[in-house]
């Protein structure tokens, strides 16, 4: 069965892409926690970070390099935060690896 993000990537659930290439896609979060809250996910459905394998190294590196490009596209010139929630205790709700890109306001540390 396809994950939510696979359905979005395949156009089965409509979404406006902030960014998309052959390997990953980015959309605005439906429940934003900051003025800018983007979700960047691989098209290939890796369940969560702990399930990533050596063969995913290039894909994960590519995604990390996409992050600052997306942040710049979103106008986050004063900074941004990158978050991956891995597992229930971390707050993961969608079992398809994704990187949260948050910005547009001061972000506190430590996070809640």
39 touches 100 (CB < 8 A): yes
Point out which residues bind ligand 5GP (CB under 6 A).
Answer: 4, 27-31, 39, 85, 91-94
Taking CA 84 as the corner, what is the angle to CA 16 and CA 91, rounded to the nearest 5 degrees?
A: 95
Q: Is 108 a catalytic residue?
A: no
The catalytic residue among 62, 98, 100, 108 is 98
Helix-then-strand count for the chain, H and E: 2, 5
Would you say 31 or 106 has its CB closer to ligand 5GP? Answer: 31
Would you say 30 or 65 has its CB closer to ligand 5GP? Answer: 30
Instruction: Give 54's contacts (C-beta < 8 A, 6+ positions apart).
Output: none
| Rounded least distance, CB 73 to ligand 5GP, Å | 17
Positions marked active-site? 98
């Amino acid at each position: 069965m396809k994950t939510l993000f696979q359905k979005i990537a395949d156009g089965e659930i409509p979404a406006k892409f902030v960014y998309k290439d052959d390997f990953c896609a980015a959309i605005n979060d439906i429940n934003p926690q900051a003025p800018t809250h983007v979700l960047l996910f691989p098209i290939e459905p890796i369940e969560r970070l702990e399930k990533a394998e050596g063969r995913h190294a290039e894909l994960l590196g590519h995604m990390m390099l996409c992050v600052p490009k997306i942040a710049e596209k979103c106008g986050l010139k004063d900074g941004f935060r990158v978050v991956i929630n891995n597992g229930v205790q971390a707050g993961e709700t969608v079992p398809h690896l994704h990187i949260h890109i948050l910005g547009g306001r001061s972000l506190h540390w430590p996070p809640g």
